[in-house]
Amino acid sequence: MRRTRILLADDHQLMRSGVRLMLEREPDLTVVGEAADGREAVALAKSLKPEVVVMDIGMPNLNGIEAALQMTQESPELAIVMVSMHSDESYVLRALKAGARGYLLKDSAEADLIKAVHAVAGGKSFFSPAVSKLLLDDYVRKLKRSGTEDAYDLLTPREREILQLIAEGKSNKDIANLLNLSVYTVESHRSNLMEKLNLRGLPELILYAVRRGIIA
Amino acid sequence: MDQSPLRAPVEHGKKLRWLLLGTFGGMLLLMSVAGIDALRSLRRLHQVSHEVAKRYSAHNQALQTVLVCFHVYDQGMEQYLLADVFVASGPQRVMIASRGSEVLTAIHDYPRDSGNEEQSLVTQIDQAVQAEESAFDNTQAWSSGERKRRAYLFVEEKILPTRTHVMALASAISRLNDQRLAAENDAVATEFLGLQTRLSRLVVTTLLAGLVLSLAAGYYILRLEQNGRRRFLALERSRQELESLSQRLVEVQEAERLSISRELHDEVGQTLGALLVDLGQLSNLVPAGDTLVKDQIARIKTAGESAVRSIRDMALLLRPPMLDDLGLVPALEWQARETSRRSDMEVDVHADEMPANLPDQVKTGIYRLVQEALQNAATHAHAKTAKVSVQYNPQRVEVEISDDGIGFQPDRTRGMGILGMEERVRQLGGSFDLQSGPGKGTTVHAVLPLSTAKDAI
């Protein structure tokens, strides 16, 4: 059986060995390398060619976000799961902008790690439930206090459908095939909904989707 | 600084001041006394010399009168006696007698305010004239023959010697007068010389006193100046010390917060995290039926998770890692959200993108400024919304935090928090401005220069 190759990056030996134990218990996963800081992680990603990187944000020399940025510039298809202590939007958005597809909180890593690795290896996004909840709470609170309308209500059903598919990691072509539409039509729906929601770029779209509870 | 060297010169200066005042006053007194004295002396001298001249001319004139009267009398007598046409005991003789008494009156009128020598000379003239008069009286009895015979003889033996005698006496008196005038003039000159000496002495004294005074004043001023400079330098030094101390305090505080935060976050937090992962694995190893152990493990996990959360919160509060991990703007956005979550106030952030090489001091300074201002807005001002704006250009960063809270009077209340913000901005070489008023909300505005902040590193 072909096993998914994983690179671990964390400056704490204890954490790495714990995570490794957990991952290696799964029959379809294998840990091919461990890095103790950002630079080492970038170097190993280049030499070992893993499919998934599980990386801590807070690392010496080069932090996880910078390391992820360098890795995805080198190989855009690399699936990165960011592990962090911080559930705040600042981190999530920057991790997404750096090319990460999964965002996992450390205190729930044990429960969600396997799910997260499987999701990103399959081209999907994954966020710890606590992160999704926090993002949603912030969003709802802000709407309530400022009294503004939720722009989501302005979307057509088709746009909502496409929004979810984009957020799940599907390409325009996949979506066109799935919905029996032309790529051009999907493209136009996509730019319309981005404009309605005032979003710039895929990371913000994913964040929005997580916030609205469209994806987990 | 110990205070004694600062206090001693004050005492000393007091004494010196009195001394200067005394010297100055004394000098003025001396000058005025001497001036009055000189004026008086001059007036007296003038008077004396005037009197001397007056007396001299009075004596001279009196003597002249005597001589003129005598001359007229004498000549009259001579002519009468030698006249060819004899008129016996006519009015001529009476006229001569009246002239004689005129001479005596003139002699009598001669001033009596002179010395004995002169008086005796005058008396001698008087006697000579009287003798001549009586001799002339005797000629009255002469017959015309007798008269023709004796007239020449009388003139030769009586009138001419008397005339010579009187002339000699008069010139002696005149000489005496001249001598006295000279003596009196000498006395005036001596007195004038004395005055001159006194005046020149006074001028020298005054000059000396002035010299001493100006030296003392110069010394005093120099001392004052020195003291002033010393005090200014001491003040300046202590101000600089205070400034560097407070800067050092801020730096130490930041460094301490950072190290505690890192320690909590990286060491304690990570270890607890690893422990939780292990606990999870342990739970998986327990047979499915053993609920007792599974429950126990679940309880331990819950306690561990709560510990991780509080440690994370503490670490974040001390020094948010996003400030170092992500930069200023994400940290400010996090701060805004965190404040929104914990209070009833909604915070909006509008921030320009910052360069990654923004000096750490500026980054931390702005972050703390915003933190403090938002804290004040949420807890003291009970604001509903707050706006944070950060504008960047290569020369400076401009930060503004405004809220719609109850406001306050900035000139009356100025808490430690505001002082702290002001101090931080000042240390970064920036300007700080706070505007508020009851019911008007509060706006904190700060401009931080970037060039000087870079130089300071």
Q: How many CA atoms lie within 13 A of A136 on its CB side?
A: 14
Please provide the average confidence, as pLDDT, over all residues in chain B: 84
Would you call B337 and A88 a contact, using CB atoms and an 8 Å cutoff?
A: yes
A138 interfaces chain B, CB cutoff of 8 Å:
yes
Radius of gyration of chain B from its Cα atoms, rounded to whole angstroms:
63
Q: Testing the interface with A: which of B312, B325, B404 to mutate, by most A Cβ within 10 A?
A: B325
Angle A118-A123-A127 (CA atoms, 0-180°, nearest 5)? 65
Q: How many residues does chain A have?
A: 216
* Sign (positive or negative) of CA dihedral B236, B238, B239, B241: positive
Q: What is the DSSP letter of B269?
A: I
Would you call A138 and B337 a contact, using CB atoms and an 8 Å cutoff?
A: yes
pLDDT at B232 > cutoff 90: yes
A18 interfaces chain B, CB cutoff of 8 Å:
yes
Which chain B positions have a beta carbon within 8 Å of A89's beta carbon? 333-334, 337
The pair phi, psi for residue B448, each rounded to 5°, is: -115, 120
Would you call B337 and A65 a contact, using CB atoms and an 8 Å cutoff?
A: no
Would you call B325 and A57 a contact, using CB atoms and an 8 Å cutoff?
A: yes
* Residue A70 pLDDT level (bands cut at 50, 70, 90): very high
State the pTM of this model: 0.58
The string of pLDDT tens digits covering residues B186-204 is 988 998 898 889 888 888 8
Chain A nearest C-alpha distance from B7 (Å):
58
Residue-level pLDDT at B89 = 52
CA A93 and chain centroid, separation: 9
Would you call A142 and B277 a contact, using CB atoms and an 8 Å cutoff?
A: no
| Cβ-contact B136, B128 below 8 angstroms | no
Class in CATH terms, B325-456? alpha beta
* Sign (positive or negative) of CA dihedral A199, A204, A210, A215: positive
Would you call B265 and A85 a contact, using CB atoms and an 8 Å cutoff?
A: yes
Q: What is the C-alpha separation between B53 and B183, in angstroms, rounded? A: 12
Q: Among B276, B277, B322, whose Cβ lies nearest the Cβ of A90?
A: B322
Question: What percentage of residues in chain B have a pLDDT greater than 90?
Answer: 14
Question: What percentage of residues in chain A have a pLDDT greater than 90?
Answer: 38
Arithmetic mean of pLDDT, A76-101: 87
Q: What is the C-alpha separation between A149 and A162, in angstroms, rounded? A: 21
Q: Which residue has the higher pLDDT, A107 or B71?
A: B71
Q: Among B274, B277, B326, whose Cβ lies nearest the Cβ of A90?
A: B326
Strand order in the sheet with A29-35: A29-35, A4-9, A52-56, A79-84, A102-105, A126-127
Q: What is the C-alpha separation between A117 and A29, in angstroms, rounded? A: 9
Largest CA distance in chain B: 210
The string of pLDDT tens digits covering residues B170-182 is 899 889 888 888 9
The string of pLDDT tens digits covering residues A153-205 is 888 989 989 999 998 888 899 999 999 999 999 999 999 999 888 888 888 88
| Cβ-contact A140, A115 below 8 angstroms | no
Structure tokens at B451: 């060039």
| Cβ-contact A102, A125 below 8 angstroms | yes
Would you call A110 and B280 a contact, using CB atoms and an 8 Å cutoff?
A: yes
Q: What is the C-alpha separation between B211 and B214, in angstroms, rounded? A: 5
The string of pLDDT tens digits covering residues B292-330 is 898 899 899 889 888 988 888 888 778 887 888 788 998
Instruction: Please enumerate residues of B whose Cβ is less than 8 A from a Cβ of A.
Output: 265-266, 269-271, 273-274, 276-281, 305, 308-309, 312, 321-322, 325-326, 330-331, 333-334, 337-338, 340-341, 346, 384-385
Arithmetic mean of pLDDT, B151-158: 82
Structure tokens at A24: 């290696």
Q: Testing the interface with A: which of B264, B270, B300 to mutate, by most A Cβ within 10 A?
A: B270
Q: What is the C-alpha separation between B379 and B374, in angstroms, rounded? A: 8
Residue B9: CB partners within 8 Å, gap ≥ 6? B223, B227
Q: Which residue has the higher pLDDT, B322 or B43?
A: B43
Residue-level pLDDT at B445 = 94
Residue-level pLDDT at B85 = 53
Residue-level pLDDT at B9 = 53
Arithmetic mean of pLDDT, A122-141: 84
Arithmetic mean of pLDDT, B431-452: 88
Residue B362: CB partners within 8 Å, gap ≥ 6? B397, B428, B448, B450, B453
Contacts by residues B132-136 (CB-CB < 8 Å, ≥ 24 positions apart) = B132/B77, B132/B158, B132/B159, B132/B162, B133/B97, B133/B100, B136/B77, B136/B96, B136/B100
Q: What is the C-alpha separation between B318 and B29, in angstroms, rounded? A: 77
Q: What is the dihedral of CA A44, A48, A51, A57, to 10 degrees?
A: -10
Residue-level pLDDT at B162 = 87
Would you call B265 and A58 a contact, using CB atoms and an 8 Å cutoff?
A: yes
Arithmetic mean of pLDDT, A61-82: 90
Residue B437: CB partners within 8 Å, gap ≥ 6? B407, B408, B409, B410
Q: What is the C-alpha separation between A171 and A123, in angstroms, rounded? A: 10
Residue-level pLDDT at B13 = 66
Residue-level pLDDT at B454 = 44
Chain B nearest C-alpha distance from A22 (Å):
7
Q: Where are the domains of chain A?
A: 4-127, 142-211
* Residue A35 pLDDT level (bands cut at 50, 70, 90): very high
* Sign (positive or negative) of CA dihedral B133, B135, B137, B140: negative
Inter-chain CB pairs, A–B, below 8 Å? 87
Would you call B338 and A65 a contact, using CB atoms and an 8 Å cutoff?
A: no
Which chain A positions have a beta carbon within 8 Å of B342's beta carbon? none
What's the one-letter identity of residue B157?
E
β-pairing, B385-393 vs B346-351, is parallel
Token pair 């070992």 in the structure block, residue: A48
Chain B nearest C-alpha distance from A17 (Å):
9
* Residue A110 pLDDT level (bands cut at 50, 70, 90): confident
* Chosen CATH of A4-127 out of 3.40.50.1000, 3.40.50.2300, 3.40.50.2000, 3.40.640.10: 3.40.50.2300
Residue-level pLDDT at B237 = 92
* Residue B91 pLDDT level (bands cut at 50, 70, 90): low
* Residue B453 pLDDT level (bands cut at 50, 70, 90): very low
Q: Among B280, B334, B384, whose Cβ lies nearest the Cβ of A88?
A: B334
pLDDT at B112 > cutoff 90: no
Least confident of A106-110, B128-132, B202-206, B339-343: A106-110
Residue-level pLDDT at A132 = 84
pLDDT at B84 > cutoff 80: no
A85 interfaces chain B, CB cutoff of 8 Å:
yes
Least confident of A26-35, B52-61, B272-281, B441-450: B272-281
Arithmetic mean of pLDDT, B430-436: 91
Give the chain B residue nearest A144 (alpha carbons): B346
Strand order in the sheet with B431-436: B346-351, B385-393, B396-403, B442-449, B431-436
Largest CA distance in chain A: 54
Would you call B331 and A141 a contact, using CB atoms and an 8 Å cutoff?
A: no
Arithmetic mean of pLDDT, A20-25: 90
Chain B nearest C-alpha distance from A69 (Å):
13
* Sign (positive or negative) of CA dihedral A157, A158, A159, A162: positive
Which chain A positions have a beta carbon within 8 Å of B337's beta carbon? 88-90, 138
Q: Which residue has the higher pLDDT, A53 or B11?
A: A53
Helices (H) and strands (E) in chain B, counts: 12, 5
How many CB atoms lie under 10 A from the CB of residue B92?
14
Would you call A89 and B321 a contact, using CB atoms and an 8 Å cutoff?
A: no
Range A142-211 classified under CATH 1.10.1060.10: no
Give the chain A residue nearest B343 (alpha carbons): A141
Q: What is the C-alpha separation between A65 and A80, in angstroms, rounded? A: 10
pLDDT at B145 > cutoff 90: no
Least confident of B9-23, B56-70, B215-229: B9-23
pLDDT at B276 > cutoff 90: no
Give the chain A residue nearest B327 (alpha carbons): A90
